[in-house]
Structure 1
Amino acid sequence: MNPSTDDDPSHRTGRLTAAEEEPLTALADIEAWKARKHYPSTLFAGGPVFGAAHERPDGGWELHPYFAGLAPQDARDGLAAHLRLLARSATDRGDDGAAAEYLAAAGRLDREPLDAIRVGAERFRVVRAERFIRMGPDGPEPPRRSDPDAGAGHRGSGDLHASDDPAAGLVIHPAEATQDGAAGVLRVELLAALRKKGTVPREVHEDSRLAAGSHPGGVLLPATFMAAEREGGRWRPHSTGTAATPGDARDGLALHLRVMVPWQQDLTVAEREVYKRAADRLDEQHCDELAVAGRHFRIVRVERLVRVGPEGPEGPRPSDADPVPPPLAHDPAAPDEDDSPPPEPDERTRRFLALFEEERTRRTRL
């Protein structure tokens, strides 16, 4: 890690608080120390995630809901939507000038890939978090008993939307630190974890090295969760995204078993029934391990670290994948949009839609 040239060390740590802050329970800290023993290794869990934040008048940066974008543009789109909500609130209180400023800023985000924007005296930015998992002899760490989880009535029922984001409303204070105990030790470990040369493209390694110098501090966000499968002695995630709670991750795995597996593998009715029973077991038992048809699945705990520098939390890096442009970005070379109706879906697509609709109907009836 490259040392900072700034003489003021205050930005080397970060404080994480919430609007209604709750102290860490003794159980959570005990479990965190146990995790260090049983899952001693920490590995990168795919690519980073992105969210939006605004600077508070009293200091620090408050995170917006749904800190789960897989590319910076996902966070920009969310920020544009947030600004439009602020415009609506300004209109409701009769402040048409503020409403116009918010709408103008949202319009810029629709056209330009901006990672920071100011509206009057308010500052907003896109924030980057690196993801990690703990590994042990038996594989990746599952959820802990102290991890907040959706109620039993949520699992396998209701709509297909995720739970509330546990990071929403948390405030990153660059100049203070309150993450102690096992969380503080983990934070220091993850800050030292850089993308190794030769394991990633050169620009990714170089950006990782530069970030250690420009944003030497950091804070841990609440953990998120994903489903993983063991194949040939190795574990691989089922998707690039993560869920807010273990229950949401189980719901995603159940959806995979009821919809994606039958569609991808063109299963017969009898073969589908095996996976449907496994998904039912997942819903009923709320388990974090599941074996079905010779396959082994696990719900995995994912840590998130936001690097922090003198000016606040780190934003996107030049090497971060950002494949989709802003929704209204205009490419002069692009042809005009085709107004003709979309083609009829083929048989395979119709089968997928039927499976998904069957699952949606099942959940709404519970």
Structure 2
Amino acid sequence: MTSGGREGAPFAAARRGTPLAPPLRTPPTSGIHPEVARRPDHNARMTDDWKRRLDALHADLVRRDDPVAWVTEADAVEASRRYPQIALRGPVFGVAARDRTAAEPGWRLLKPVVDGMPQQARDGLNSHLWFRAKDDTDDPAARRELLAAVAVLERAPADEVEALGVRYRVVRGDEFARTGDDGLEPPRPTDLEPVSPSWEDPGTAPSPDVGYVLDPDRDEGPMAGALRLGLRDFTYTGDRFPPDVRADSEWAARTHPDVVRLPVGFSVAERDGSDWTPCGSLAATPHEARRSLYEGMARVWAMLYRFDEHKKALYARAAETFRAAGRADEASVEDRLFRICRVERMVRLGPDGPEPPRPSDLDEYGPMKLHPTLHTDGTVQYDD
């Protein structure tokens, strides 16, 4: 649910709910940082690898002769012109799995890459394995192997475990948004919306992350491919990032040089002077983010922040105005401006798969026991 509070703390690496970092200025068709673009080795690679890859993407677009794909590509070109910069929010974490016995044994996302700390993703993996042991098998040996992995996650901040032939890894991504002269990029006309959008149904669309194949050659078109290739050289720079964060970022670009762009998401951001502060969780569709903003203004914030009757009525009217506009992407109330923004994420890949958390990524708490003791015969012990 979107938060109604202001989160005006200075940007800090590996923190969530903070203003977006100042944008990186990028050429309108690629997403390449200008300092990177000047490097001779980068220019050589662009002449060779980039050209081959982009030519292949363009040829595929022509071959498919798909009007929807052409319109989507035109949207991407227009977005790169109107929002030519990239604003970094910071790291996000999720879980990927690789089943060696599967027909396609590559890495796939098991849990959405949306957590603000590595330990949150580890806890999600802990619960996944515990419930698999409880509900998905009657074999004591299989249950024992799953519970052994759970025990590892309870004792230490482990970023990888293996059970029943499946490797599980906590993975790290970066979340960013495009930005231009008027702020963050809103949803595009070609972004998917629900067929029958509801303002009342509390249900949410399933995360498109789950089951997503981490394939570095998976691109939707030339513009997406250009951005992905440009992001390969992206690193954290500038004094606002601590030295260990910058060093880890540069090291990751060498050890995990490939990039996968994850499914696009949508969120609410509030303008605070020249900054935009993201608030709320990542939504699968623009309408889901709009509904979150509507609920916040109409009901939730009044309860959380104990609005008086005048302020409650003011926010309720703003909510109904926003709802009546249908697919509006901005709402204002008092001196506050909110925007539905388009959120992108990337995960780095190396020879052994997706990048795990970095040493400089912060946790606010450590591993712990999350569930009752489960015995290998399936009995749950609740009194320990």
Query: Aligning the two structures, in what range does the TM-score lie when normalised by the shorter sequence?
Result: 0.7 to 0.9
Cross-structure match for 1:299: 340
Deviation per residue, 1:87-128 (Å, 9 max, x gap): 24542xx43311221122123223321100011422110111
Alignment of 1:148-227 (within 5 A): 148-154=192-198, 156-159=199-202, 162-173=204-215, 176-178=217-219, 180-227=221-268
- Structure-2 separation of matches of 1:178 and 1:270: 50
Tell me the residue number matched to 1:126. 170
| 1:47 partner amino acid | G
| TM-score (ref. length: structure 1) | 0.76
2:122 alignment counterpart: 76
Contact 1:50-1:71 at 8 Å conserved across structures: yes
Q: 1:314 aligns with which of 340, 343, 355?
A: 355
The answer as to whether partners of 2:91 and 2:174 remain within 8 angstroms in 1 is yes
Matches within 5 A, 1:10-89: 25-44=69-88, 46-57=89-100, 58-88=104-134
Deviations 1:117-166 (A, max 9, x none): 01142211011110111111111100112222344443x3233x642111
Equivalent pair of 1:258/1:279 in contact (CA under 8 Å): yes
C-alpha contact (below 8 Å) 1:59/1:173 kept by paired residues: no
Aligned AA for 1:280?
E
Q: Which residue of 1 aligns with 2:320?
A: 280
CA distance in 1, matches of 2:113, 2:218: 22
Note if contact 2:119-2:367 (Cα within 8 Å) is conserved in structure 1: yes
Distance 2:258 2:221 in 1: 14
Residue 314 (structure 1) shift = 0.6
Query: What is aligned with 1:244?
Result: 284
Q: Give 2:364's aligned residue.
A: 323
Q: Which residue of 1 is the match for residue 31 of structure 2? A: none
1:164-195: CA deviation from partner (whole Å, max 9, x where unpaired): 11111111136x55554111111122223211
- Among 120, 126, 140, the alignment partner of 2:184 is 140
SS at match of 1:66: strand
Aligned equivalent of 1:255: 295
Q: 1:79: how far off?
A: 1.1
Unaligned runs of 5+ in 1: 4-9, 14-22, 330-366
Equivalence for 2:57: none
Instruction: Report if the CA contact (8 A) 1:173-1:312 is conserved.
Output: no
Cα drift, residue 73 of structure 1: 1.1
Distance 1:227 1:80 in 2: 30
Match of 1:107 in 2: 151
How many angstroms does 1:64 deviate by? 1.4
Question: Which stretch shifts more, 117-126 or 101-110?
Answer: 101-110
Deviations 1:10-64 (A, max 9, x none): 9xx9xxxxxxxxx9833222211111111011120x2211111111333310101
SS in 1 for 2:147: helix
Q: Distance in 2 between matches of 1:225 and 1:78?
A: 22
Cα distance in 1 for residues equivalent to 2:295 and 2:210: 26
Structure 1 residues 178 and 257: alpha-carbon distance in aligned structure 2, compared to 1, 3 A threshold = closer
* C-alpha distance in 1 between matches for 2:318 and 2:218: 44
Two-structure CA RMSD over aligned residues (Å): 2.7
Task: Determine the structure 2 residue equivalent to 1:333.
Answer: none
User: Contact between 1:218 and 1:306, CA under 8 Å: does it hold in 2?
Assistant: yes
Q: CA deviation at 1:308?
A: 0.6
SS of corresponding position for 2:177:
strand
Contact 1:217 1:309 in 2 (8 A): yes
| Residues 68-97 of structure 1 deviation map (CA, whole Å, 9 limit, x = unaligned) | 111111111111222134324542xx4331
Matched residues in 1 for 2:294 and 2:97: separation? 36
Counterparts of 1:324 and 1:150 in 2: how far apart (Å)? 37
Report which stretch shifted further, 207-216 or 49-58: 49-58
Instruction: State which drifts further: 204-213 or 187-196.
Output: 187-196
SS at match of 2:252: helix
Specify whether residues 281 and 121 from structure 1 end up closer, same or farther in structure 2 by C-alpha distance, changes over 3 A only: same
Deviates more, 1:280-289 or 1:113-122: 280-289
* TM-score (ref. length: structure 2): 0.73
Segments of structure 2 that go 5 or more residues without pairing to the other structure are 1-35, 42-48, 54-65, 371-384
Equivalent in the alignment of 1:352: none
